[in-house]
Structure 1
Amino acid sequence: MQTIENQFLKVSINPLGAELVSLFNKENHTEYMWNADPAFWGKSSPVLFPIVGALKNNQYFYQGKTYTLPRHGFARERVFSVEVQKEDSITFLLKEDEESLKVFPFPFEFRLIYTLVEKTLSVSYSVRNTGNEEMYFSVGGHPAFAVPLSEDTVYEDYYLEFNQTEDFQRWELADGGLIKKEATRFLENTNRLALTKELFYQDALVFKHQKSTEVILKSDKVSKQLKFTFENFPFLGIWAAINANFVCIEPWCGIADSENHEQELTEKEGIEVLASDQIFLRTWSVSL
């Protein structure tokens, strides 16, 4: 484990996947991350790269060739190197290799940058195209926060409060994790989503082009809460494993294939395109 800290927070990151595993508040002695109990879900904050979600038949087509990738890509299963480390920040680096080029034919430098400023942890995704041609990719977060945050509360005491009033349509997931062709009405004229275990019995809640850039995980019964900020991420997932004590707030630049997608990478919904030697940067943050 690699650790960064300041007077308020202590953060631990596993170089395997550069995965955030602990966000500890020193003031109230509270752990805000899910404990990755494998009985429910053995992850805490995997990074999604170079795709988000599932591909149709786990395959995509690019320049006349067929490539295979598992759901959410390969970065979460790769060991990142530590490029820069300071007391309150750390940068992890992953580059293409012989194995990655077999499934994703683009040279790249992918950095995860963790930075502490007072009571806020910022997580940045930096993608550099080190090849000579345009690069097509997606990237996203999957952090799982513990719910409840206090022993004298229960899961159903908590809700998500968005910073904009939303009319959310839910894009449900079909078999294989593909996005269904039509959305369903979900939330209308509200900024609040009450948390229940049943909410996730039919897999993740997937939203597109939401207005909100912040959401607060909170309960009216306790003062402990967290504010999650995610600007310039056009897609958002909310998920928990069945009956597990966490909620994932997932900002995405990219989305799973739809049921009727023809699997061409360049035509994939939400795909990012990066010119040679250019850098793509997105940041989400959590404030306690």
Structure 2
Amino acid sequence: MSNIVIENENLRATINPLGAELVSLLKLDDHTEYMWDANPAFWGKTSPVLFPIVGGLKNDTYFYQGKEYKLPRHGFARTMNFEVESQTQNSVVFLLKNNPETEKVYPFAFELRLAYTLIANKLELKYQITNPDSKALLFSIGGHPAFKCPIENALNYEDYFLEFHENEDLKRWPLNSADLVLNEPLEISKNTNKLLLTKELFHQDALVFKHLKSDCVTLKSKKNLKQLKFEFKNFPYLGIWAAKDADFVCIEPWCGIADSADTNQNLKTKEGIISLESKGVFERGFSLEIS
């Protein structure tokens, strides 16, 4: 299926139905692109949706009701074709439902919708998960958008920083060699609202944060006025990541997290798992505002 394009007077967004993945966000007046170009030499994705897990499982394995199941890192939604449920000039809704393929690795019925809407200088993305079944639906969900950095080609990566809405005591939860979360955080900085970007910052994988005060972070530079404001309300975890020496930064709001190093692999008690009751609906969203 061809890419879907939505547009208003300020922005044009392009979404690939494979994974319902945002692949371009273009400011129309000056043709500035804000999304990473998915260069496969570094990382061939742009903004995958993470469902029904976020991060990796120990040995790619979980247990549910005594049975063993296998799921790859970040789940399967990012590699599946979504259908277009509805579309207007400035909005589109994608839908993925359980099917025989998903049921082999994930024994739940679900409806996952991603709704993209352009409003002025902002792109809003809403996740909606519906449980059509009579039993509880267990899942996690998260975003993984990668933003071009530097935004302006004349600048360098190190000219940019992330500005948090609140002052934070930034503590990262490190990952071991199997990408599992260790039990003790490492302090990055205290009582600050800025994280300076360097390529070396991500040489030891993602920065994983839990329960920040901020629900907004802005990618900006002192050398240029172009910036991207990222709002993510009610996401308990945040990842910041870039592939080694690549010209992008991911700002990743998560309702869910990778397995801990000492996990018992029981899906029901996994940290970050959401239990949605029968016929229930769960919604979360984030927005990108550019200037």
TM-score bin, normalised by smaller chain? over 0.9
* Structure 1 counterpart of 2:4, from 2, 13, 31: 2
Aligned equivalent of 1:178: 180
* 1:57 Cα offset (Å): 0.8
Aligned equivalent of 1:232: 234
User: What SS class does the counterpart of residue 224 from structure 1 fall into?
Assistant: strand
Q: Which amino acid aligns with 1:175?
A: S
Aligned equivalent of 2:126: 124
Aligned positions, number? 288
* Structure 1 counterpart of 2:203, from 191, 201, 204: 201
Q: Give distance in 2, aligned partners of 1:191 and 1:148.
A: 20
Aligned equivalent of 1:20: 22
Aligned equivalent of 1:84: 86
Q: Quote the RMSD (CA, aligned, Å).
A: 0.5
* 1:28 Cα offset (Å): 2.4
Q: Please show how residues 108-119 of structure 1 align to structure 2 within 5 Å.
A: 108-119=110-121
Aligned equivalent of 1:66: 68
Q: Give distance in 2, aligned partners of 1:88 and 1:79.
A: 21
* 1:182 Cα offset (Å): 1.2
Aligned equivalent of 1:254: 256
* 1:256 Cα offset (Å): 0.2
Q: Which amino acid aligns with 2:271?
A: E
State the percentage of identical aligned residues: 58
Structure-2-length-normalised TM-score: 0.98
* 1:156 Cα offset (Å): 0.1
Q: Give distance in 1, aligned partners of 2:107 and 2:250.
A: 30
Deviations 1:57-95 (CA, angstroms, capped at 9, x unpaired):
100111110110000000000000000000000000000
Runs of at least 4 residues of structure 1 off by over 3 A?
Answer: none
* Structure 2 counterpart of 1:163, from 150, 162, 165: 165
Q: Which amino acid aligns with 2:38?
A: A
Q: Give distance in 2, aligned partners of 1:80 and 1:34.
A: 22
Q: Give distance in 2, aligned partners of 1:188 and 1:138.
A: 29
Q: Give distance in 1, aligned partners of 2:21 and 2:62.
A: 26
Aligned equivalent of 1:211: 213
Q: Give distance in 2, aligned partners of 1:123 and 1:176.
A: 31
For structure 1, the 5+ residue unaligned runs are none
Q: Give distance in 1, aligned partners of 2:280 and 2:231.
A: 25
Q: Give distance in 1, aligned partners of 2:46 and 2:128.
A: 20
Deviations 1:261-282 (CA, angstroms, capped at 9, x unpaired):
1000111001111001111000
* 1:27 Cα offset (Å): 1.9
Deviations 1:120-154 (CA, angstroms, capped at 9, x unpaired):
00011100011110011000000000000112210
Deviations 1:19-74 (CA, angstroms, capped at 9, x unpaired):
00000001221000000000000000000000000001100111110110000000
Q: Give distance in 2, aligned partners of 1:265 and 1:64.
A: 10
Aligned equivalent of 1:49: 51
Aligned equivalent of 2:104: 102
Q: Which amino acid aligns with 2:146?
A: A
* 1:13 Cα offset (Å): 0.2
Aligned equivalent of 2:136: 134
For structure 2, the 5+ residue unaligned runs are none
User: What SS class does the counterpart of residue 151 from structure 2 fall into?
Assistant: coil
Structure-1-length-normalised TM-score: 0.99
Q: Which amino acid aligns with 2:25?
A: L
